[in-house]
Amino acid sequence: MASFIIQGGKPLSGVHRAAGNKNAVLPMLAASVLTDATVKLTNVPLIQDVYTMLELLAALGVAVEQKGHTVTLCARGVRRRKLDPVLCSRVRSSILFAGPMAARHGHVTLYPPGGDVIGRRRLDTHVEGLRQLGIAAESVGDFSFRCRKLKPARILLDEASVTATENVVMAAVLAPGHSTLFNAACEPHVQDLCHLLCKMGARISGIGTNYLQIDGVERLGGATHRVQPDTVDAASFLAAAAATGGALTIEDLPAEQFDVISRPFQKLGLNWRVRERVLTLPAAQRLRVRDDFGAAIPKVEDGIWPAFPSDLMSVVLVLATQARGTMLFFEKLFESRMYFVDRLIAMGARIVQCDPHRVIVSGPARLHGIHMSSPDIRAGMALLIAALCAKGESVIDNAEIIDRGYERIETQLRKLGADIVRRG
């Protein structure tokens, strides 16, 4: 098990380039099994979840070639229909093989997906949506998805699940006839997957809305596609620089998406400038909570797009510990997302956890370093930010969890002036 050792108190300053979107590239990798032609992805983030997905693909018989941030895939040689149980347990995205494998190859057996332990993450929406397309599912220890003949369907998802939407869309593009998908997730990474599928020959309309219309095609071809930049990555580094009082320039910013997620940062008093996909954050800003109308305590709550994303709740919460004032955080999507705050309290943060979903933060708090562990990817990044602005030394175990979502995180932070080393 690897650990990060951080000496806090050093402002982060410099230039950071946003990585490729983690949540976009993972379903794109699974989509490569929909065709015998070559799929080439550029701007691929070099993170552990990507490496695990590539291992799963290679084990199925997909030809995988990686050169830097470019991955080339050809599924002409797919010979297996069973995924490796150990690899499945490492990533949540292993479930994304259900739709495309069953639709294109008739059958797939996979195992309970892993990923972050942030609450129950049900699969019923996947199963019901795929069933309406003619894909039957069974669960007896493993998960078996079989399809004799795809059929078009009018599907109403019982929740706007991102991965369920992706699974259903990847199957529906090969179902003959016209399918409609109501209550679809419309997050930017879902849109990016749809754009790749359209490049491969799929016929999808309504991209960016919660109502998708899909006209199935007999076969898909190859494509070359650049993975969009990751808003969560960019915002995480913005929070790290702001919490430490540094100045930061973020290149290749997904500016339109950033507009959607920027409000909680602005409520904490942050100001920046964006020009031609470059964000500039001045140094030494005074963090102060801006009250809601009528001097009410402001609230940050997450939700489905275009609401504030759950993946950023943890890092903004840490930033709030360094701002003067009080703020309520309401995590609506996952009942275990907020359990990492006990580490922040041990570091000196002034936090009241009201229940599994609500946390009150009062700042500013002078944090001090402690020995702790990372419970999930986003909490791990939040704890790194806390350690960077804390006094003294912090040790964060379970560094591999952070590696699943952030590329060479210690190297990037050192480039910005952080005192951080990896041990083990």
Supply angle C-alpha 175, 130, 39, rounded to 5. Answer: 60
Query: For 131-149, what is each residue's pLDDT tens digit?
Result: 999 999 998 878 999 999 9
Confidence of residue 121 (pLDDT cuts 50, 70, 90): low
Question: Which residues contact residue 266 at a Cβ distance below 8 angstroms, ignoring those fewer than 6 apart?
Answer: 290
Q: Is 323 a residue whose pLDDT tops 70?
A: yes
- Rounded to whole angstroms, the maximal C-alpha distance in the chain is 64
Q: Rounded CA gap, 406 and 287, in Å?
A: 26
Question: Which residues contact residue 80 at a Cβ distance below 8 angstroms, ignoring those fewer than 6 apart?
Answer: 59, 60, 61
- Full set of structural domains in the chain with CATH: 3-19+229-423 (3.65.10.10), 22-226 (3.65.10.10)
The residue type at 52: T
**CB-CB contact of 121 with 185 (8 Å):** no
Q: Rounded CA gap, 24 and 34, in Å?
A: 17
Residue entry with tokens 């999808």? 204
- The dihedrals phi and psi of 7, each to the nearest 5 degrees, come to -100, 115
The mean per-residue pLDDT over the stretch 284-292 comes to: 93
Q: Is 214 a residue whose pLDDT tops 70?
A: yes
Q: Rounded CA gap, 230 and 242, in Å?
A: 19
**CB-CB contact of 232 with 22 (8 Å):** yes
Q: Is 116 a residue whose pLDDT tops 60?
A: no
b/e per residue 214-228 (b: at least 16 CB within 10 A): bbbbeebebbebbbb
Question: Which residues contact residue 275 at a Cβ distance below 8 angstroms, ignoring those fewer than 6 apart?
Answer: none
Catalytic residues: 116
> Quick one: pLDDT at residue 115?
56
Query: For 361-391, what is each residue's pLDDT tens digit?
Result: 999 999 999 999 999 999 999 999 999 999 9
> Quick one: pLDDT at residue 79?
87
pTM: 0.94
CB-count burial class (<10 Å; 0-12, 13-18, 19+) for 67: exposed
Question: Which residues contact residue 406 at a Cβ distance below 8 angstroms, ignoring those fewer than 6 apart?
Answer: 19, 47, 233, 236, 377, 381, 412
